[in-house]
Amino acid sequence: MTSRRNARNAVSIASFSVLAFSAFMPAASAQETDAPPQTSDDQVKTLGQVTVTARRREESLKDVPGSVTAISADDIAKFSATEIGDLQSSVPNIVLHEGDAQNTVAYIRGVGQLDSLAFADPGVGIYLDDVYLGRAQGSFLDVFDVERIEVLRGPQGTLYGRNTIGG
């Protein structure tokens, strides 16, 4: 009988000790650290307004309700891009490569087509100066003298018609 009582006492003391020590742990981890002193040279850097035509009219990028990546001519020059495939590292969720006939094969969020076929349009629409390129055969879309590139992710059928399931 006494051995059971001793065992219960040992268990209750051990559980009380664990609870007591765990009560002090969050307080120790929540202590504030000293912030580094701010100098007068620190200035807030802000980006300028980015204007896009994602919804077929000029508007601020922050007002567009969809997922848009805009690449300016300065960014294209900074990346030393000569063709559209050079820009895929700066745009999330996009894969661009050259197909069989040197045509552009694009995947956005996994939606696309392996290669352009004569009887099927791809799932990602490519527009050049508001003109739909169903099959960009023979070129990998050079980025010479480009003002900007806008990548719209997600279905865009209401604004850009069919074949824009991926973007």
Q: At residue 107, what are phi and psi to the nearest 5 degrees?
A: -125, 130
Structure tokens at 14: 């051990």
Strand partners, 152: 68
**Which residue type occupies 30?**
A
Residue 108: closest CA among 131, 128, 84: 84
Residue 119 domain-assigned? Answer: yes
Give the rounded percent of residues in the chain with a pLDDT score beyond 70.
Answer: 49
The DSSP code sequence of 89-131 is: GGSTTEEEEE-TTS-EEEEETTEE-SS-BTTB--SS-EEETTE
Strand partners, 68: 152
Residue 5 domain-assigned? Answer: no
How many structural domains comprise the chain? 1
State pLDDT tens for residues 14-57.
Answer: 665 655 555 555 554 555 556 565 655 567 666 677 777 666 66
State pLDDT tens for residues 53-81.
Answer: 666 667 777 777 777 777 888 888 887 77
| Stretch 103-109: mean pLDDT | 75
Range of the domain at 90: 66-160
Would you state the pLDDT for residue 22?
58
Residue 30 domain-assigned? Answer: no
Structure tokens at 12: 């209750």
State pLDDT tens for residues 111-143.
Answer: 777 665 666 777 777 777 777 776 656 555 666
Residue 132 domain-assigned? Answer: yes
Structure tokens at 138: 């023979």
Would you state the pLDDT for residue 81?
77
* Cα–Cα dist 84/150, whole Å: 12
Q: Give me the CATH number covering residue 99.
A: 2.170.130.10
Q: How many CB atoms lie within 10 A of CB 111?
A: 18
Would you state the pLDDT for residue 118?
62
Judge whether 69 and 151 are in contact, CB under 8 Å.
yes
